[in-house]
Amino acid sequence: MPADRFSTATRLKALGEQAAARVYRARPARRNRLTGRAALLALVMCSLVVALAYPIRQYVSQRSDIADQRRKAQDAGAALDRLREQKARWQDPAYVRQQARRHLHYVMPGETGFIVQDGTGVTSAPKGAQAAQRPWYENLWDTVDSADKPAGKR
């Protein structure tokens, strides 16, 4: 017999092994957590999500379309109100005379009309005669060049 047969460490180790063997024998076999019911529930939930995803997406997009159409209808209503106001102004003869004087430079009989120049002293050559003598691509290039110049140098 070995000398350490009765040692405390050896006895504790043997007791621990026996206790562990009893515990593992007493514990029931571990069942799988994914039962048939859980798998069926997961399948039903996934099918519901897949089945409802498209209608929900359509619902949300249609709600945004409805909001856009309502906004457009409000904008059209505001434009209609502005046009009605403008039509009412054009029914007034005084407003018509004012607009004719301002935009068409009309004068009443007995009045003298004047055109006041801006005073810069810069006169431009008549574009019709000069532009008609050149090829079209030169006219196009000149307009592109003049558009590229800064506002103060035009």
pLDDT at 1 > cutoff 50: no
pLDDT in tens, 97-145: 999 888 888 888 898 888 777 777 666 655 666 666 778 888 888 888 8
Instruction: pLDDT band for 41, please (50, 70, 90 cuts).
Output: very high
The residue with greater pLDDT, 52 or 14, is 52
By the 8 A CB rule, do 96 and 90 touch? yes
Q: What is d(CA 83, CA 91) in angstroms, rounded to the nearest whole number?
A: 12
DSSP code of residue 140: H
